Each structure stands twice: as C-alpha cells, then as structure tokens.
Amino acid sequence: MGGMAENTVFDKTVSIIGAGRVGQAVGTILRQAGVSVAAVTARKLQTAQAAALVSGGRPGVDNAEAARAAEFVYITVPDDAVARVVEEMARDLAFRPGQVVAHASGALGLGVLAPAAKAGASIGCAHPMQSFASARHAVKEIPGSVFGVTADSGATEVIYAFVHVLGGTPVTVSEEQRPLYHAAASMASNMLVALEDMSAGLLEQAGFSPDEAQAALYPLIRGTAQNIRQFGTRGSLTGPIARGDVDTVRMHIKALEVAPASARGAYRVLGLRALETALAQGQVDPETAETIEQVLKEAPSR
C-alpha cells in the first residue's frame, strides 16, 4: 500500500462514462482544477447535458465516441453495468494503446476491463471510499477521501496523479482483496446507516417522534465519529460493555424482547465484538467479560 508524491502532474484529457452522482462530482472537481474534460455520457441525453454544465465536457449517450476523445477514461456506471459497458465500448473500438481506462467500482477488479487491455489500453480501478447522497455533497466529500486503487504497471502512476487532482489519497488494494476492501467500506457506511435506522426505530418505540429520534441520534453519531478520528476505533469504545456493567447489559437484553428480531440479533453480535475490544484494551477484567459474554450469548434472537 502507499501513494505517489502529492505533486505528481496529471495532464490527460478525461472522458467520464456515467453521469451519476460520482461522475458529476468528478467532472466538477476536474474542471475546477483546470483539467480538460472531453466528454461526459449518460443513458439519457438530458442527464449528460446537466453533467456537461458542471464539467465542461461534451454531453452524449455514445460511450465509445466519448472514450475515443480522451486519454483517460473514467467509468462511473453502477457496478453491475461495468462489464457490459466496457464490452460494448470495445466492440465499437473505443480503446487504444496509450490510453488509461479506469472504473470507480469498489468490489470489481481489473478483470472487467480486459477488453480495454486487449485493445492496448492500460487499466485500473480508482474507488472513492466515501458515501455520496448527492452530486453536490460528493464535490465536498471527495477531497480528503481515500481511493482504493488497483492498476497495471502502465496505469498506476497516472491513476495516482488523477486521485491527487481530485484531492484524494490513493491507497493500493490488491486485485484479490478488493471484495474484502469493499465489504469493509460497506460495513462502515451502508450498514452504519442501517444500524442507525434500527436505533431510531427503538427510540420511536421508547416514545420519541421520528423527528426527535433523528435529532437525538445525530449529535451522538457525530461525537462518536470525532472520537474515532482522534483516538481510533479501539480507543473510542464507551458504554456499559466497556465499563463492565453486567446488570445494564441484562436490562438492555430484557428491554429488547419487544424489539424486532433484527435489533436483538444486532445487539448480541455487535455486543460480543465490543466485548472483544474492551477486553483487548483492558477496559474489563476477564471474569466480568466472561459474565457479559454469557449474558449476550444466552440472549434470545427470536
């Protein structure tokens, strides 16, 4: 793992294939950085035209035509569409030697770009490890984000420079570890949202209105995130398990008997992981940890 020097120059013309939230945001940042965006595409011309307004690229629906116009092709279509889109572009002679073709998927590796490599292009992946609720939000969040990069020898330096232009930090991820890398990112973001939605539901059961539940959770989430940033995940664990409060854990288990099974299961599984962390950090003694483990494992899941 590692990155290239921050002052690596990116001097390629870029075409963006897929004008969704990430594609629009990337186009916006590139234009602000003075990078020439040759073209931007979408399934609907209207969508491509909207992306062209912020990127300066020529809008269109012909992916191959857009790719032929650029030295660096960044594919930001949904994961399930990447292989099909690349194959269709290759059939239309979109790729050539000297080009760099990269996709933005987190889980996919270089295999889906094989048609581009066969045409002589260098290939890679540059996945922003970030959650984007909108294109405007993405413009603000991409700078400072880590990008998981996998690339062949001809694309590595160019892709690292591309990430630096976007304000990101490139970290190399091996081909075989990309699914694990992406699973970790999904757990940290997507499943965090699911967990907080579950917590909001419990607060509503406790008498909060939906708005009150959301308003109550956000400062707690923000404070926890700030703690993690300052102290790391293991140094940020607080609460009854970290304190060894066995009776409080028992009360939680009892209260959750009226909650959905998914909430009971999540509390038990995540509680056991929190216990591992607390024990490793010396926050609880082995005897107390054993008692808490027994309480959590005996908790009904149905």
The residue-averaged pLDDT of 50-61 equals 96
Query: Does residue 212 contact residue 203 with C-beta atoms inside 8 Å?
Result: yes
Domain assignment of residue 67, yes or no:
yes
DSSP code of residue 175:
G
Is 144 found in the same domain as 38? yes
Domain shared by 105 and 253, yes or no: no
CA 117 to chain centre: 26
Task: State the burial class of residue 227 (Cβ atoms within 10 Å of its Cβ: 0-12, 13-18, 19+).
Answer: middle
User: How much is the pLDDT for 91?
Assistant: 97
Percent of the chain clearing pLDDT 70 (strictly above): 96
The pLDDT of residue 302 is above 80:
no
pLDDT at 147 over 70: yes
Number of domains the chain contains = 2
Report pLDDT for 136: 86
pLDDT of 132: 86
* pLDDT top residue among 132 and 88: 88
* Containing structural domain, residue 83: 14-176
CA 182/CA 171 separation, integer angstroms: 13
Condensed to tens digits (0 to 9), the pLDDT of residues 14-25 reads 999 999 999 999
Domain annotation covers residue 238: yes
Tell whether 81 is covered by a domain. yes
Mean pLDDT of the chain: 94
Instruction: Give the mean model confidence (pLDDT) for residues 47-75.
Output: 96
Residue that is last in its domain, among 176, 202, 235: 176
User: Under the phi-then-psi rule, with left for phi > 0, alpha for psi from -120 to 50, and beta for the rest, what region is 202?
Assistant: alpha
Q: Is the pLDDT of residue 137 over 60?
A: yes
H/E segment holding residue 272: helix 261-280
Helix intervals (H) in 93-189: 114-118, 135-141, 156-165, 178-188
Residue 5: pLDDT band by 50, 70, 90 thresholds?
A: very low
Q: Is 76 within 8 Å of 97 (Cβ atoms)?
A: no
pLDDT: which is higher, 188 or 302: 188
> pLDDT tens for residues 170-210?
999 999 999 999 999 999 999 999 999 999 999 999 999 99
96-134 pLDDT, tens digit per residue, is: 999 999 999 999 999 999 999 999 999 999 999 998 888
Same domain, 55 and 101: yes
